[in-house]
């Protein structure tokens, strides 16, 4: 019985390691993401993943990608891009990052560096900003 239990535990651990939600180092973090370019500034281009849009009660969640033209340093880690899952309050035109991961290479590839979680506070998206443009996509304004 103990042997059967051990095999079951090892099998579950192996399956989790092979199918876990975290990407292997050096690979794109969201294999199914289809990034659509929304805009560009002097410092970065920004993209939305329309397929990631999820509505929950009064809010909408969507993934976005910022691809920087030069290396950025965030929390002591060098990065060329970041992917953020962002929560949007469409009615009040506010948003907050829920999960952000910085990557060493362009377009969310390379080694994943610094990660941060939700701020716990929705902030107003100023008109003309990348966040306001992403809010319009997520909320279909």
Residue 104 lies in a domain: yes
> For residues 141 and 95, what is the distance between their CA atoms, to the nearest angstrom?
14
- Domain extent for 65: 34-139
In a domain, residue 14? The reply is: no
- What 3-state class would DSSP assign to 14? helix
Residue 13 lies in a domain: no
CATH code, domain with 74: 2.40.128.710
So what's the pLDDT on residue 18? 35
Q: Does the residue 3 lie in any domain?
A: no
Neighbours of 81 (CB within 10 A): 23
Residue 78 lies in a domain: yes
Q: What pLDDT is stored for residue 102 in this prediction?
A: 95
Indicate whether 9 belongs to any domain. no
Residue 65 in any domain: the answer is yes
Kindly indicate the confidence band of residue 141, based on its pLDDT and cuts at 50, 70 and 90.
Answer: low
Structural domain includes residue 8: no
Q: How far is Cα 130 from Cα 128, in angstroms, rounded to an integer?
A: 7
Q: What is the pLDDT of residues 16-44, one digit of tens each?
A: 333 333 333 333 444 568 999 999 999 99
When divided into structural domains, the chain yields a total of: 1
Closest residue by Cα to residue 42 from 72, 66, 69, 74: 69
pLDDT one-digit tens code per residue, 47-86: 999 999 999 888 999 999 999 999 999 778 899 999 999 9
How far, in whole angstroms, is CA 65 from its chain's centroid? Answer: 7
Asked if residues 65 and 95 have their Cβ atoms less than 8 Å apart, the reply is: no
């Amino acid at each position: 019985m103990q042997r059967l239990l051990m095999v079951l535990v090892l099998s579950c651990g192996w399956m989790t390691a092979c199918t876990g939600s975290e990407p292997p180092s050096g690979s794109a973090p969201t294999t199914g993401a289809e990034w659509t370019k929304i805009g560009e500034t002097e410092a970065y281009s920004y993209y939305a993943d329309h397929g990631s849009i999820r509505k929950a009660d009064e809010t909408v969640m969507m993934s976005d990608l910022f691809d920087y033209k030069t290396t950025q340093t965030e929390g002591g880690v060098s990065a060329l891009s970041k992917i953020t899952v962002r929560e949007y309050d469409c009615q009040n035109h506010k948003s907050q990052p829920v999960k952000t991961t910085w990557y060493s290479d362009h377009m969310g590839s390379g080694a994943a560096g610094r990660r941060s979680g939700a701020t716990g506070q929705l902030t107003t998206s100023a008109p003309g900003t990348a966040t306001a443009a992403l809010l319009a996509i997520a909320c279909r304004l």
